Structures are given as C-alpha cells and as structure tokens.
C-alpha cells in the first residue's frame, strides 16, 4: 500500500476531525501518502481529492464537524456510481480506504470492496452509538456531555415554574443517548425504543413523582421511541390525563451533533486512526476498528453492520431506583 484515502460519510460526529488527523499522521509516520476525499463517497465519484501531509491536519483535534465534509451519497448506491468512484481512485493512485462513518457508510464500503480490489477499514463515527463491535463510537461521549449540560439547564427553568418537560434526544433507532443522559440528568422517566414502557406506566410514574413531593420533572424521550406518540402528542396526552403538571416540550435536535470533542473522543479517535491504518498495512481488509474492554479490536464489517449494539438495560433499573 502506497496511498490511503480517508473520508467521512453519513451524519457528522464530534471526533471525526481527530480521526482524520490520526489517519493522516499514522500514514506520515509509516511514510505512505494520504489523500482526503471531500464529501464522502460523493466526492470520490467527483474525484475531489486533497493531498494531506502531517501538517495539513494541525489545529483540528479540538474541532467539531468534519473538515472533509460529509454526505449521504445516493449515487454510490448504484453500480455505475461505484464504477466511476473506482476509476477516480485508480487515477489518483489510491490503493486503500479508511471510511469514518456509521452503518450506511460501512455497507457502501463493503459492497465496494467486494466489487473491486480495494482494501477498506471502517472507523465508527456517529453520536448514536448504534454499532456492533465497539462499546463507543466517535462522537457519542461528546454528545452525552452536550445533552447532559442542556438537561441541567432545562431543569433550572422546569423547577422554577414547577413544570414537566419532555426532552427529545437523538439516537435514530437506539436509546443509548437517552438512557445515559436520563440517568446522568436525573430524569423521572426515560423512553427508549428497546423497551416500551407503555403510556399507563408513564402516567403512573408521573403521578407517583407528584405524590412524593416533586414539583417538576424531566422525561427524556429517544427520537426512535416506540410508545406510539411523538413528544408533542405525549404532551397532549399528559395534558389530557393529568392536571397536576404544566407541560413543555424541548426537541434538542442537531445541536447534539456539534461542539468540540471530549477528551474521551479525541483519544478514541487517535487510537482508532492508528489501528485502522496499521491494520491495512498488515494486509487486513473489510474490518471495523472498535473499542472492546478498552482494547482496540477488529470486527468484520459485515458483523458490524448486521449485529445489534446492545443497550445496557441495567441502567434502566438504576434509573428507576434513582427516581425513588
Ligand atoms: O445518525 C446521527 C443522527 O444525528 C441521528 O441521531 C438522527 O436521527 C439523524 O442523524 C438525523 O439526520 P439528518 O442530519 O440527516 O437530519
């Protein structure tokens, strides 16, 4: 391998820049060339490559977003699109790829490397933490810290007005963010897709909380929650069934994806970049780099895509006990 291409794809996540920096510097350390591919697979098809040396990634370890930009490419899902992408890589002399992204990005990488002779290595980057084969994805820890900070602020206003807040957090179909910030933010209830508590239980728990002398409450709702109502409908439902609370809704949205990466995400990104490049240099391909028991590990991309990232259900019980 003489030249590695690095790209970020799918939703951006804090720590992606630290990951790019690590890939670039590990290439420089091993005296191989590195190019950044702009806007993920979309830029690969357009042939937008930026030569990257060790100094080109200075001052980015602390930056949110991704300097390479990102996209969810529809063209790369077609055979024709992937053919153009391969021709562009060959023209540029790229002979291996590091893909930083989520499962959609890994599916693209897997299909591509099966069709063409192109070694690929994945680095999991998404705030959702919904990827099998790693306990932490890049950006997850930062997002948790961002959301907890916001919940603390919402609590200030909730308790001043004796209000109940439904706070919707991201996570796509997974409840990792919701469950953890629920515990860390002292939420009365946490609604996650993995465990449907049902509307009766929600009302019961809110009644219990009121009866126990609490005047305000926060309920964290994962965006993928399956209770059958969105946050605004939940507000209407509680308004209808409980007169004790004045209810408000706060949908946190994309601010959860921004901001300077936490120390944990910077270190994780640095470790993952080294592991990804060195694994390619050892002749490995089609794996995702992950963190398991604080050790860098490799999981076949296929497993990383198909496997289920398990939610820590013990936390639900902890959350219940903490609201006593
Ligand atoms: O996968 C990251 C994520 O932020 C999810 O939590 C969310 O469901 C989705 O991306 C939002 O996507 P978009 O930025 O395309 O609206």
Point out the catalytic residue in the list 128, 141, 225, 265.
128
Q: Show the DSSP H helices in the chain as ranges.
A: 16-29, 40-46, 79-92, 103-115, 140-161, 176-184, 199-211, 231-241, 263-281, 301-306, 314-322
> How far is Cα of residue 93 from the mean position of the Cα atoms in its chain?
31
Distance, CA 172 to ligand 1 centroid (Å)?
7
55 annotated ligand binder = no
Kindly give the distance from the C-alpha atom of residue 304 to the centroid of ligand 1, in angstroms, as a whole number.
19
- Probe residue for ligand 1, chosen from 10, 11, 100 as the CB with the greatest number of ligand atoms within 8 Å: 11
Whether the predicted model's global pTM rises above the 0.90 cut = yes
Q: Which atom of ligand 1 is nearest to the CA of 223?
A: 8
**pLDDT value of position 244:** 87
Q: Is 149 annotated as a binding residue?
A: no
3-state secondary structure of 256: helix
Active site residue 128: yes
Using one digit for the tens of pLDDT, what is the confidence trace for 180-190?
999 999 999 99
How far apart, in whole angstroms, are the C-alpha atoms of residue 277 and residue 269? 12
Question: What are the tens digits of pLDDT across the range 133-168?
Answer: 999 999 999 999 999 999 999 999 999 999 999 999
pLDDT 10s digits, 179-219? 999 999 999 999 999 999 899 999 999 999 999 999 899 99
Would you say the C-alpha torsion 268, 18, 75, 4 has a positive or negative sign?
A: negative
Q: Which of 194, 161, 167, 197 is nearest to 182 (CA)?
A: 167
Residue with tokens 């192109």: 118
223 labelled ligand-binding? yes
Q: CA triplet 227, 230, 235: central angle to 5 degrees?
A: 100
Chain segment 21-78, per-residue pLDDT in tens: 999 999 999 999 999 999 999 999 999 999 999 999 999 999 999 999 999 999 999 9
Between CA 123 and CA 137 the distance in angstroms is 8
Identify the CA nearest to 272 among candidates 64, 16, 91: 16
CB 109 within 8 A of CB 5: no
ipTM for the assembly:
0.98
Residue nearest to atom 10 of ligand 1 (CA): 11
Rounded CA separation 106/101 (Å):
7
């Amino acid at each position: 391998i003489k030249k590695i291409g690095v790209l970020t794809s799918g939703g951006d996540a804090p720590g992606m820049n630290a990951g790019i920096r690590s890939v670039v510097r590990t290439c420089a350390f091993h005296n191989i060339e590195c190019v950044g591919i702009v806007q993920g697979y979309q830029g690969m098809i357009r042939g937008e490559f930026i030569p990257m040396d060790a100094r080109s990634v200075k001052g980015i370890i602390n930056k949110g977003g991704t300097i390479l930009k990102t996209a969810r490419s529809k063209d790369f899902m077609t055979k024709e699109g992937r053919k153009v992408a391969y021709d562009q890589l060959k023209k540029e002399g790229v002979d291996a790829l590091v893909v930083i992204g989520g499962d959609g990005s890994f599916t693209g990488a897997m299909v591509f490397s099966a069709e063409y002779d192109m070694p690929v290595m994945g680095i999991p980057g998404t705030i959702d933490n919904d990827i099998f084969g790693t306990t932490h994805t890049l950006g997850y820890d930062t997002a948790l810290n961002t959301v907890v900070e916001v919940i603390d602020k919402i609590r200030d206003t909730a308790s001043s007005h004796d209000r109940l807040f439904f706070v919707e957090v991201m996570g796509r179909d997974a409840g990792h963010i919701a469950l953890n910030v629920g515990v860390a933010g002292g939420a009365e209830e946490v609604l996650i897709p993995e465990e449907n508590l049902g509307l009766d239980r929600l009302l019961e728990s809110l009644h219990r909380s009121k009866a126990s002398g609490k005047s305000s409450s926060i309920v964290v709702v994962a965006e993928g929650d399956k209770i059958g109502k969105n946050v605004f409908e939940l507000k209407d439902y509680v308004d209808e069934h409980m007169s004790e609370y004045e209810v408000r809704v706060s949908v946190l949205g994309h601010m959860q994806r921004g901001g300077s990466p936490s120390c944990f995400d910077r270190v994780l990104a640095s470790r993952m970049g080294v592991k990804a490049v060195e694994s390619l240099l050892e002749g490995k391909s089609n794996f995702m780099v992950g963190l398991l028991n604080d050790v860098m590990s490799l999981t076949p991309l296929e497993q990383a895509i198909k496997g289920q990232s398990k939610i820590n259900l013990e936390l639900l019980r902890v959350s219940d006990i903490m609201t006593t």
